[in-house]
Amino acid sequence: MKSFEEIRGQDDALRQLRRALREGRLASGYLFFGPDGIGKRTTALAFARSVLCRERTGSEDACGECPACTRLRSGGHRGFHLVEPEGTRDIRMEQIHELGRLLSLTPVEGREQVAVFPDADRIGVLQANALLKILEEPPAGSMMVFVTRRVDLLPETVRSRCQSIRFRPLSAGVIRDILPDDEDVTRLAPLAGGSLGKIARLREMGVLALLDEVEALVGEDPLQAAEVCIRAMRGGSRDDLATRRERTMAFLSVLLERERQCVAAGGDAGRADFCYRRLVTGLDNLRLNVDPDTVLRATLVEIGPLWPKTLSS
């Protein structure tokens, strides 16, 4: 587990958490929210370590040496509960019931117990209702930390009983400091929406080579350019619809990010607005389960004539 000192680009969130630890004013529920790949899970685990540590440092980091830290490092601390989905399934009701049972027991190590939900997006409605009962009457010394990319994916009844901590997208400078300084990172950092995880996915997709290939075609033959994209999105598996949809959303998100940058840099607002709206429509259609091939063809045919300006640096 990393310490607070090793977490980059989340100064506001860390300031709030350190103050709560220093003043001893810890909430029974926290909601960490923001885009994927920016350090929410890492911070949640570091926060849990600090809460359970008996000898925190002056910066409110876990000491790493006390018996509680030693047991956490070995996976044997009975006051720490990591509640994760199993495979592709959502978090099960049995996991929630077991957590409630464990939190109700008298702590055997220290005074606190911490449960971290690193994939809170995958808590179903029934499971959230069961968690609500724990949040309404939390056992003494217990805390739950929910990590999500979107606050609206958790019911309002749960959100309202948690202290919300916003995590910001990482700046391109922070990303370049964290990742190896090469040409791919320099080009991908502004396109990744501040997410280290997204940079990894875009690199795996070969999105830079795809952009270069499509740019050479789309101005004169957007339909042919769309077919190039469709082949790339299939990733060698025509029938893997979920993968195709995920890749197509990532690709359109890259184009959308370029439009945001264009507007911020004082580019042609009318052209950018047209492309932005078409790209948002494409992403909305993907979320509505429209076939990704159809979305790519429709979107690139519409913005194709403007593509050279869309991707200009």
pLDDT top residue among 288 and 2: 288
pTM of the complete model: 0.81
User: How many CB atoms lie under 10 A from the CB of residue 67?
Assistant: 13
The Cα–Cα gap between 244 and 271 comes to 28
3-state SS, residue 4: helix
Asked if residue 163 lies in contact with residue 33, where contact means CB atoms within 8 angstroms, the answer is: no
Q: Which burial class, exposed, middle or buried, applies to 24 when counting CB atoms under 10 A from its CB (0-12, 13-18, 19+)?
A: exposed
Identity of the residue numbered 256: L
Three-state SS string over 206-260 comes to CHHHHHHHHHHHHCCCHHHHHHHHHHHHHCCCCCCHHHHHHHHHHHHHHHHHHHH
Q: By mean pLDDT, which of 66-75, 191-200, 265-274 is the weakest?
A: 265-274
* pLDDT tens sequence across 217-243: 887 888 999 999 999 888 755 557 888
Quote the percentage of the chain above a pLDDT of 70.
95
**What's the confidence (pLDDT) of residue 185?**
84
* DSSP 8-class letter at 294: H
pLDDT top residue among 262 and 126: 126
* pLDDT tens sequence across 267-287: 677 888 888 899 999 999 999
Fold of 4-166: Rossmann fold (3.40.50)
Q: Which burial class, exposed, middle or buried, applies to 257 when counting CB atoms under 10 A from its CB (0-12, 13-18, 19+)?
A: middle
38 CB-side CA count, 13 A? 24
**What's the confidence (pLDDT) of residue 311?**
47
User: How many CB atoms lie under 10 A from the CB of residue 266?
Assistant: 7
**18 confidence band (pLDDT: 50, 70, 90):** very high
* pLDDT tens sequence across 145-158: 999 998 888 888 88
Domain ranges of the chain: 4-166, 206-310
